[in-house]
Amino acid sequence: MAKDTLFKKKVTINTGGKLIDLSVPKVMGIINITPDSFYAGSRKPLLNDALLQANKMLADGADFLDIGSYSSRPGAEDISEQEEIDRLLPVVELITANHPDAFISIDTFRSYVAEVAVAAGAHIINDISGGQLDENMFATVAKLKVPYILMHMKGNPQNMTQRASYKDIFTEVLDYFAWRYHQLKQLGIHDVIIDPGFGFAKNADHNYTLMNRLNEFDVLGLPILVGVSRKRMVYGVTGGAADDALNGTTALNAIALTKGANILRVHDVKEAVEAIQIYLRSKSAHA
């Protein structure tokens, strides 16, 4: 049997009643309704600014919009569930009203926030904690019947930097996904996307080991989301700060595509779309 047929990778998700084919890589644009996200250019705490950002990202070719109102940068301030909802809901409602066909992902680890957001028009839950910070999250996703992005992280945004310790980073993350996905399947949740959680309780060596072995996660048969946009793993190599990391981000996204990434989660949609276009053209070339 050919190696690539040993594990059948799931390449479709049911989103808002529509089947989305992830065998052609997709782009997820980041909209942060926060005053303190790590990349200042992504902060859109004002309602109209968030809508303008959504307009631009969709025009640039975003397939999904990922909206978050709780900053998950290392050491970020913890905010209440109600403050998260108060920031989030008006933006979800406004974007849904202006772009009824847009697919909206909600970046939250709180099950009640997920429930409220889906009721307001959201379609996907993107949980940085993989259900570890809210024991009701898996059951809530099962009830909502929406796709779920299962990310790997240890601890929480306030203490994750101190927990970046592993004996074997790849095996530990793989085992985590296998166990959590088993729990999700038991609840009838099958539209699951995995995210290695670059930068979340991981140092540079951890991050690049996971990127180098990204295609090995295909053993799980699940689509993979990669979120490296403007992170320290980029500018720690190239120099500067998040503001200077667009070119390095595009290079790393291109590497991720060659290793099987199905979704690129980015601040800069146009450049990610172009990376995918070049990657697909390269794949289709014949000698």
| Tens digits of residue pLDDT in 29-51 | 999 887 655 445 555 567 888 99
* 123: amino acid identity, one letter: H
List CB contacts of 190: < 8 A, sequence separation 6 or more. 10, 184
180 an active-site residue? no
CA 232, distance to chain mean position in Å, is 17
Catalytic residue among 265, 270, 281, 283: 265
Q: Is the pLDDT of residue 1 over 70?
A: no
In this prediction, residue 162 carries a pLDDT of 73
pTM of the model: 0.92
Which tokens belong to 244? Answer: 């200077």
87 an active-site residue? no
Catalytic residue among 231, 270, 281, 283: 231
**Phi-psi domain of 16 (left: phi exceeds 0; alpha: psi -120 through 50; beta: other):** left
Structural domains of the chain in order of their starting residue, each with its CATH number: 19-281 (3.20.20.20)
Instruction: Tell me the three state secondary structure of residue 27.
Output: strand
Q: Is the pLDDT of residue 109 over 50?
A: yes
